[in-house]
Amino acid sequence: MITLLAIWTCQYCGKVTSDVDVDYLSDYDHLSCALNAEMQAKKKTDEYEDCILCGDKTDVLRSTHIDFRTGYIEGAGQLCIKCWNKGTDRRHMAVPMSMVYDTPNDQELGAKVRQLYYENNS
Ligand SMILES: [Zn+2]
Ligand SMILES: [Zn+2]
């Protein structure tokens, strides 16, 4: 009896896959290679958002959910990191710790912090 030994190869990496467990194959290709190729293809078609202010390409993909984005302004669009940093006031203000624990009421504390802010800015 003649046993025909088929030689299968992965079309992505060219390695012989005849002896690879079928669980790790997609047709005759490595499952990992097929998934990789799929991801590469997706990356190519996936576009990056343009910055709504300066028009530069951002590093945010259009497919990224807005919850996971940095610099996205709802109703306006995506900002690049540069414009986002420009638009965000990163100045700090010191709030005495005693003020926090001496004021158990959040609303009262908020009012005190705001008062402090106005004093700092006048
Ligand atoms: Zn492969
Ligand atoms: Zn920008």
Range of the domain at 100: 93-122
In sequence order, which ranges of 1-122 are alpha helices (DSSP H)? 31-45, 81-87, 97-102, 106-121
* 1/37 same-domain check: yes
Residues in the chain: 122
3-state secondary structure (DSSP) of residue 29: strand
| 56 & 82 share domain | yes
Chain centroid to Cα 69, Å, comes to 6
**What is the 34 CA–ligand 1 centroid distance (Å)?**
7
Note the pLDDT tens digit of each residue in 5-64.
Answer: 678 899 999 999 988 998 999 989 999 999 999 888 877 666 899 999 999 889 899 889
- Measured in Å, residue 85 CA sits from the centre of ligand 1 at 43
Instruction: Estimate to the nearest angstrom the gap between the alpha carbon of 60 and the chain centroid.
Output: 7
User: Residues 25, 54: one domain?
Assistant: no
Single-letter residue type at 66: I
> Distance between CA atoms of 27 and 71, rounded to whole angstroms?
42
Measured in angstroms, how far is the CA atom of residue 104 from the centroid of ligand 2? 42
Nearby residues for ligand 1 (ion, Cβ within 5 Å): 10, 12-13, 30, 33
Instruction: Write down the mean pLDDT value for the chain.
Output: 87
Tell me the whole-structure pTM to 2 decimals. Answer: 0.38
